[in-house]
Amino acid sequence: MENNIKRIAVFTSGGDAPGMNAAIRAVVRTAYYHDLHVYGIYQGYEGMIEGKVERLETRDVGNIIHRGGTILKTARSERFRTPEGRKAAFETLSAYNIDGLIAIGGDGTYTGATIFAKEYDIPIIGVPGTIDNDLFGTDYTIGYDTAINTAVDAVDKIRDTADSHNRLFFVEVMGRDTGFIALSTGIGSGAGAVFLPEVTGEKEKLYDVLRKSTKRNKLFNIVIVAEGDELGGATKLAELVKKDFPQYDTKVTIIGHLQRGGSPTCRDRVLASMLGAGAVEGLLEGKKGCAVGVINHKLKYTPFKQAIEKHKELSDYLMRLAPILAI
């Protein structure tokens, strides 16, 4: 490993995701293992502009691996979108003699890192922290496994009420642009139908399912809806169904930000630990302008441009399997 990196900083940006703390912990402890100084930047890019930087010791990341959220906090930063804001951020890093950055977040975080690195030639490695699992260059993102387990647990509870009262529940999960959470939640919870942003024309298929259920006198069911589906979410879909199937007692549950919180699963803790450590060692190996990921259980480094621009596809097999299992 090269030895030109002596001081690194880590920050979290964008939406929080369970497992971010595990990633921070891995960054700090791996840095100390390699005799580096490590700093934490609080409140993302906004904190970088404002100089909210503190030295982190190994004891500062003790007892956090099980905690949701992020001890470094996070924030959106409009100022970082401007040249003046990025200049102020660079001056902060220069004041602390920071040689490399580790950015934990999603595509917005990666986009900011790409521009920043190009303007100031700062070595930056991204760590995929988002529950949406939509970043190219990694099989899974930090927080995704916890989010789908939270959603499935909620649907399991809703199913008890749906069955007891013969109700048709529309459960909305996060996923404005992609249906990874909805698809896994639908299969994992045994839902009768799943609505995804990537797929259109699903309403008629649901209507067909409801007609068949009516003939069998089955008036309860669970429908999983990604918030970004073509019809505008669970509430809109439920209104349409109620109009066309008045015999159904329809209810809507929006799980919302519950999916972002809570203690991360073991899978997310292990993934975050691998990625945090991989980011530090990537910097030491001279890598920059890229995101670390895990593909087929091995660490991979993907250029930011590809991680941002390339589209991560849903599994064709799972999309085909969902309606089969809902019969």
Q: In whole angstroms, how large is the CA radius of gyration of the chain?
A: 22
pLDDT at 235: 95
Q: How many domains does the chain have?
A: 2
The answer to whether position 2 is within a domain reads no
Q: How would residue 1 be classed by pLDDT, with cut points 50, 70 and 90?
A: very low
Residues in the chain: 327
Domain-ending residue, one of 242, 260, 278: 260
- pLDDT for the residue numbered 217: 67
Kindly state whether residue 297 falls inside one of the protein's structural domains.
yes
Which of 57-71, 206-220, 229-243, 255-269 shows the lowest mean pLDDT across its residues?
A: 206-220
Mean pLDDT, rounded, for 303-308: 96
Model confidence at 210, in pLDDT bands (50, 70, 90)?
Answer: confident
pLDDT at 42 over 60: yes
Per-residue confidence band for 166, with pLDDT thresholds at 50, 70 and 90: confident
**Integer angstrom CA distances of residue 72 from 25, 101, 165, 219:** 11, 14, 45, 47
Tell me the three-class secondary structure of the chain, residue by residue: CCCCCCEEEEEECCCCCCCHHHHHHHHHHHHHHCCCEEEEECCHHHHHHHCCEEECCHHHHCCCCCCCCCCCCCCCCCHHHCHHHHHHHHHHHHHCCCCEEEEEECHHHHHHHHHHHHHHCCCEEEEEECCCCCCCCCCCCECHHHHHHHHHHHHHHHHHHHHHHCEEEEEEECCCCCCHHHHHHHHHHCCCEEECCCCCCCHHHHHHHHHHHHHCCCCCEEEEEECCCCCCCHHHHHHHHHHHCCCCEEEEEECHHHHHCCCCCHHHHHHHHHHHHHHHHHHHCCCCCEEEEEECCEEEEEEHHHHHHCCCCCCHHHHHHHHHHCC
Q: Domain end: 260, 279, 298, which one? A: 260
pLDDT (average), residues 221-226? 94
Nearest Cα residue to 141 out of 263, 25, 307: 307
Give the C-alpha separation, 306 to 86, whole Å: 23
Residue 135 near residue 128, CB atoms below 8 Å: yes
With a pLDDT cut of 90, the percent of the chain lying above it is 83
Q: Residue 304 domain-assigned?
A: yes
Domain shared by 128 and 51, yes or no: yes
pTM for the model stands at: 0.94
Asked if the model's pLDDT at residue 90 lies above 90, the reply is yes
Rounded to an integer, the average pLDDT of 312-326 is: 93
Asked whether residue 12 falls in the same domain as residue 137, the answer is yes
Please tell me whether residues 89 and 23 are part of one structural domain: yes
Tell me what pLDDT residue 4 has: 86
Q: What does the pLDDT read at residue 201?
A: 84
CA-CA distance, 53 to 182, in Å (whole number)? Answer: 37
In this prediction, residue 112 carries a pLDDT of 97
The pLDDT assigned to 264 comes to: 98
Mean pLDDT in the chain?
94
- Residue 215 inside a domain? The answer is yes
**135 and 152 inside one domain:** no
Query: Does 203 or 289 have the greater pLDDT score?
Result: 289
Same domain, 269 and 139: yes
Residue 132 lies in domain:
7-143+264-309
**pLDDT tens, 260-270?**
999 999 999 99
**Same domain, residue pair 71 and 106:** yes
Q: Are 68 and 36 in contact (CB under 8 A)?
A: no
Catalytic residues: 132
Same domain, 138 and 174: no
CATH of the domain at 168: 3.40.50.460
Q: Is the pLDDT of residue 246 over 70?
A: yes
Residues 291 and 237 in one domain: no
Residue 37 lies in a domain: yes
- CATH code, domain carrying 120: 3.40.50.450
- pLDDT higher than 80, residue 254: yes
Asked, for residue 296, whether it belongs to a domain, the answer is: yes
Query: Could you tell me if residue 324 is inside a domain?
Result: no
Asked if residue 86 is part of any domain, the answer here is yes
Same domain? 269 vs 297: yes
What is the mean pLDDT of the segment spanning 273-293?
97
Q: Is the pLDDT score of 11 beyond 90?
A: yes
The pLDDT assigned to 185 comes to 97
Confidence at residue 28, expressed as pLDDT on a 0 to 100 scale? 98
pLDDT of residue 3: 58
299 and 208 share one domain = no
- What torsion do the CA atoms of 77, 83, 84, 85 make, to the nearest 10 degrees? 20
Residue with tokens 């996923």: 175
Kindly state whether residues 105 and 222 are assigned to the same domain: no
Confidence of residue 43 (pLDDT cuts 50, 70, 90): very high
Query: Domain check: are 214 and 116 in the same one?
Result: no
